[in-house]
Structure 1
Amino acid sequence: MIYCFSGNGNSLYVARLLAEGLGDSVKRIDRDCLLHSEKYDCAGGDVIWVFPIYSWGLPRPVKEFMKTVNISGARHFMVATCGDDIGLAHRQWRDIARSRGWNAIATFSVQMPNTYTLLPGFDVDSHEIEARKLEAAPERLRMIVSRIREGWRGDDVVKGSFPRFKSKIIYPQFMKHGINPARFRCDTSLCIKCGKCKAVCPVENITLVDGHPQWGDDCALCLGCYNVCPVHAVNYGNATLRKGQYRCPLI
């Protein structure tokens, strides 16, 4: 089983390629998983956890689902997508797996086009870098499939510089103070009422009022709503003004 959380399509693309290579199936981690995790219990075989890295840590829905779903007798693998590096996110994943008594075998990271645009100096990749990352991904995933099949043990991840600072200092601050759905806004003079923002939200946190999005309190800050808007009507305060948008073109 491949459990996948994805906001902008990178991790979903990776999960689908892994499923193809392993002959497995993909279950997306969504609101129903979080509310009724018992429906998704499983036993035996291999369980691969695929998700993006948020501020050098695990997305909240992934952590919540890992802590509540019941899985027995399985080998667990982590495949995390990132723009550049993951800090010590693989250790966070291993810590949760260990707390559940799971057999955590190996962790991997896969560089994919950047989706995070909320901090100064952070933006989507240039078209050249985006194309290069997308071109390199299939070969990287073929290697990961081979290692999963052989039961390779270890951590094949890019931690980057200052990984402890990123995952131990920045990530907790991000989780505590950095997720504020009240900052999302919609320019109704631009909005075409297409509803794409609501459709892509993995935690169903968006409702439409007179065709325009309204955000609830259960946000993962995946930025899917921002990136999918065809007229750039959605912004997160002023942080995304004059920033680019990205959504995986391969899904």
Structure 2
Amino acid sequence: MVFYFSATGNSLWVAQYISNAFNEPLCEVSGFIRKHSAEGLKYTLRDEAEMLFFVFPVHSWGPALVMLHFIRELQLSGLKGNCVFAIGTCGDDCGYTDRIVRKELADKCIPLEAFFSLKMPNNYILMRGFGVDPEPVKDEKLAMAPSSMEQIVKAINTRSYSESQILRTGMSWLKSYVVYPVFKRFVIGRQSFRSTDACISCGLCAKVCPTGMIVMQNGKPVWQGRDCVQCTACIHRCPAKAIEFGKVSVGKGRYVHPVLAGK
């Protein structure tokens, strides 16, 4: 099984690649959470040959909170030596995301065989100083992604893992064990999203919100409650570019992976 979370399509593309390479089905975790939260997030492995993958974006040098919540609530049964892997997509650096995920899985008695990170286009635009990649950089990352995935698949098939397959650029402890906890505590749940007059009332933002906090009222989106995980799905996937985050996103570009084109 390939459990994945994706906001703008980067991790979806990776999940599809892995699904095709290892003939494992896909499961989008935010939908799984909404469907099964009442009775618990239960999954039973088919047999000892089934491979388990967790694919997700790296947010502020840690796992996306939707995936973190999923791992913490997952009730997995039938685990008998099955191979378990995690893949994080990031703009340039994943910090110690691998260590965080490994510990979270270990707490559930799920041993992680290997973690990989994959460089993909940046999409975080909700703070000053952060923005999407320039077109040449974005195009280069997308062009390199298939060969990087080939290397990951080869490493899994040959059981040859290396620290070089995890993207780090320095100060990983500070990023993942100081900045990431601050992100979770003080940034998550706070949002300044708004729709502009360009809104076409398509409702896509409400459909793609992983926590279901966007509702349509009088044909316009309204962000309710404090469940925002700042995944950026709504702001990037709006076909009319009619969503802003206060004033900080004004004038910044938007990004959606080609796998989501027209969706």
Closer, same or farther: CA 78–150 of 1 in aligned 2, 3 Å: same
Partner of 2:18: 18
Aligned counterpart in structure 2 of residue 90 of structure 1, from 91, 98, 111 = 98
Partner of 1:210: 218
Matched residue SS, 2:53: strand
> What is the alpha-carbon distance in structure 2 between the residues aligned to residue 195 and residue 207 of structure 1?
8
1:52 aligns with 2:60: no
- Residue deviations 1:48-96, cap 9 Å, x none? 1100000000111111111121222222111100010101111000011
Contact 1:115 1:246 (8 Å CA) reproduced: yes
RMSD over equivalenced CA pairs, Å? 1.7
Query: Normalized against structure 1, the TM-score is what?
Result: 0.93
> What is the alpha-carbon distance in structure 2 between the residues aligned to residue 168 and residue 220 of structure 1?
18
Q: CA deviation at 1:238?
A: 1.7
Closer, same or farther: CA 150–205 of 1 in aligned 2, 3 Å: farther
Query: Which residues of 2 match residues 76-115 of structure 1 at below 5 A?
Result: 76-115=84-123
Partner of 1:151: 159
- Residue deviations 1:185-233, cap 9 Å, x none? 112x221111121122233221111111112332221111000122322
Matched residue SS, 1:109: strand
Partner of 1:244: 253
Partner of 2:68: 63
Segments of 5+ residues of structure 2 without an aligned counterpart are: none
Segments of 5+ residues of structure 1 without an aligned counterpart are: none
Greater shift in the superposed pair: 39-48 or 15-24: 39-48
Contact 1:37 1:65 (8 Å CA) reproduced: no
Contact 1:105 1:151 (8 Å CA) reproduced: no
Matched residue SS, 1:53: strand
State the AA in 2 paired with 1:205.
Answer: M
> What is the alpha-carbon distance in structure 2 between the residues aligned to residue 149 and residue 218 of structure 1?
39
Q: CA deviation at 1:241?
A: 1.3
State the AA in 2 paired with 1:157.
Answer: I
Query: Normalized against structure 2, the TM-score is what?
Result: 0.89
Aligned counterpart in structure 2 of residue 117 of structure 1, from 115, 125, 132 = 125
State the AA in 1 paired with 2:187.
Answer: G
Greater shift in the superposed pair: 135-144 or 24-33: 24-33
> What is the alpha-carbon distance in structure 1 between the residues aligned to residue 219 and residue 160 of structure 2?
50
State the AA in 2 paired with 1:66.
Answer: I
Contact 2:58 2:97 (8 Å CA) reproduced: yes
Query: Which residues of 2 match residues 169-184 of structure 1 at below 5 A?
Result: 169-184=178-193
> What is the alpha-carbon distance in structure 1 between the residues aligned to residue 103 and residue 168 of structure 2?
16
Runs of at least 4 residues of structure 1 off by over 4 A? none
Q: CA deviation at 1:42?
A: 2.8
Contact 2:191 2:228 (8 Å CA) reproduced: no
Q: CA deviation at 1:39?
A: 4.3
Partner of 1:226: 235
> What is the alpha-carbon distance in structure 2 between the residues aligned to residue 105 and residue 233 of structure 1?
43
Matched residue SS, 2:93: coil
Residue identity (%): 31
Matched residue SS, 1:250: helix
Contact 1:83 1:114 (8 Å CA) reproduced: yes
Aligned counterpart in structure 2 of residue 168 of structure 1, from 177, 189, 205 = 177
Partner of 2:2: 2
Matched residue SS, 1:103: coil
Aligned counterpart in structure 2 of residue 75 of structure 1, from 80, 83, 99 = 83
Greater shift in the superposed pair: 104-113 or 38-47: 38-47
